[in-house]
Amino acid sequence: MIYKNRIERIGVFLKRLLPCGLLACMPFSVSAQIENDEITVLEDDGTQEVIDVPEGLTHEVDSLLSLYYSQMYLTPDANCNYRDENPEFSDATYIDRLRRMPNIMEMPYNQVVRKFIDRYASRMRRAVGYWLGASNFYMPIFEQALEAYNMPLELRYLPVIESGLNPNAISRVGATGLWQFMLATGKSYGLKVNSLVDERRDPIKASYAAAHYLSDLYKIFGDWNLVIAAYNCGPENINRAIHRAGGERDYWKIYPYLPRETRGYVPAFIAANYIMNYYCEHNICPMRTQLPAKSDTIIVNRDVHLKQVAAICDLSLEELRTLNPQYRRDIVNGSTEPSAIRLPDAAINTFIDNEDSVYVYNADQLLSRRAEVFVSDAQPEVARSAAPSYSSRRSFYRHDRRGHNRQERVVKGRKGRKERKVREQNVTIKEGQTLSQIARKNHTTVDKLRKLNGIKGSNIRAGKKLRVK
């Protein structure tokens, strides 16, 4: 039977823990419902509480399937014979399955967790199939980083609810990458962000930064549910919730004092762990994966554009961007510090053998920033031979940023010649100023000032106008 999302009466939540200690007592009861991107909880007194679905779970699966590696390496499994329907199971079945998962983190069950499981297994079935296929790329990276900091491997599913396993995901508040680092937090954990580079998008560096951050959060709270909640809304919000709950340090007891999205964050995480382990029981087909060719990094100490690398090494620019998502403008700024470019193994030797050719290929067009420029000091001159009369001149005045009085004269040339503009700039002489001071300030010379103003000596009078251009 196909399970449909509907309002269902669940009665008062169980008031006691099961012997296995898996069922958490929630601070509300009666019923819960998922509508769009919210969960509405009806309490015993008839009031409603709205819980936001984490933003990473609201991305359309079509946008995920449009990514380069999805198109290149993920395909629907034509041999999957599951019926496209989601069976309905009892609460006891969910409790037993969560209990049997090999976790050290507590994975309790309640009706909000159930609603997230139903969401994954029904309206998000295609997304789960994508996650299962894409996990072949990302889970080894996540697990290696978590192992380096001795973190529970269950945390590898955090990016599922953070970003939907999209390395280019950007939240409405600016959190970026698979692990959705905010700018300040990413920088505090060593992720470089500037106009050319955003290492929050780098799957490897961001995964190690996330493992480090999670390790620090556990040192603060000593409880994994609080760690996950703090990862979502920040440790300050968790500390405030603990204070408002009278010092309680149980996630389910401080629950009413948390932000709306964080109330759904831990249940969504538990449900993600469940569905990634029990997808077969819900007739979900993983996408088939053809792992891309092995890759490795080369280090460059000069600026290089990914288009230069693609052209000389005969690679797809989209493939290079996928392997190097941290480079925001396709420019590797190796001249600032040695920088890594990830390439398919087969292209490593090609790059090494043709490195000089890579750097010079279309460099003028692709790397066009000027290192030095020269300012011309040539002054425009009015053609004396034209001898324009005053009746043939049209003038207007305006002030520049320094308050100088500028005059533009449109001078008519001889018959058949185009008009040309001569811009004049005047300043008012201040008390005590000298010609040399005025010349330096206006980037000219004393001789030119004398010539423009018909001055033979060095005597000038305060309050008079002096032409400087």
Q: Which positions are annotated as active-site residues?
A: 162
Q: Which of 142, 206, 165 is nearest to 69 (CA)?
A: 165
Let me know if 19 is exposed, middle or buried by CB neighbors in 10 A (0-12, 13-18, 19+). exposed
Q: Which residues of 146-173 are buried (b: 16+ CB within 10 A; e: fewer)?
A: beebebeebbbbbbbbbbbbbbebeeee
* Number of residues in the chain: 469
Instruction: For residues 9 and 12, give the distance between their C-alpha atoms in angstroms, rounded to a whole number.
Output: 9
CA distances, 21 to each of 16, 109, 249, 343, 366 (Å): 9, 10, 17, 49, 61
Question: Secondary structure of the chain: what % helix, strand, coil (to 5)?
Answer: 45, 15, 40
Residues 6+ apart with CB under 8 A from 164: 56, 57, 59, 64, 127, 131
Mapped onto helix, strand or coil, the DSSP state of residue 327 is strand
Instruction: For residues 114 and 187, give the distance between their C-alpha atoms in angstroms, rounded to a whole number.
Output: 37
Amino acid at 315: L
Let me know if 418 is exposed, middle or buried by CB neighbors in 10 A (0-12, 13-18, 19+). exposed
Q: Which helix (H) or strand (E) holds 346?
A: helix 345-353
- Answer whether 275's CB lies under 8 Å from 94's CB: no
Mapped onto helix, strand or coil, the DSSP state of residue 103 is coil
- Answer whether 157's CB lies under 8 Å from 207's CB: no
- Angle at CA of residue 337, ends 335 and 339, nearest 5°: 95
Token pair recorded at residue 143 = 């697990």
| Residue 291 backbone zone (phi > 0: left; psi -120 to 50: alpha; other: beta) | beta
CA distances, 247 to each of 16, 110, 219, 262, 303 (Å): 22, 24, 17, 19, 54
The DSSP call for residue 169 is -
CA distances, 87 to each of 2, 83, 110, 418 (Å): 6, 10, 19, 83
Residue 88 phi/psi, 5-degree rounding, is: -100, 135
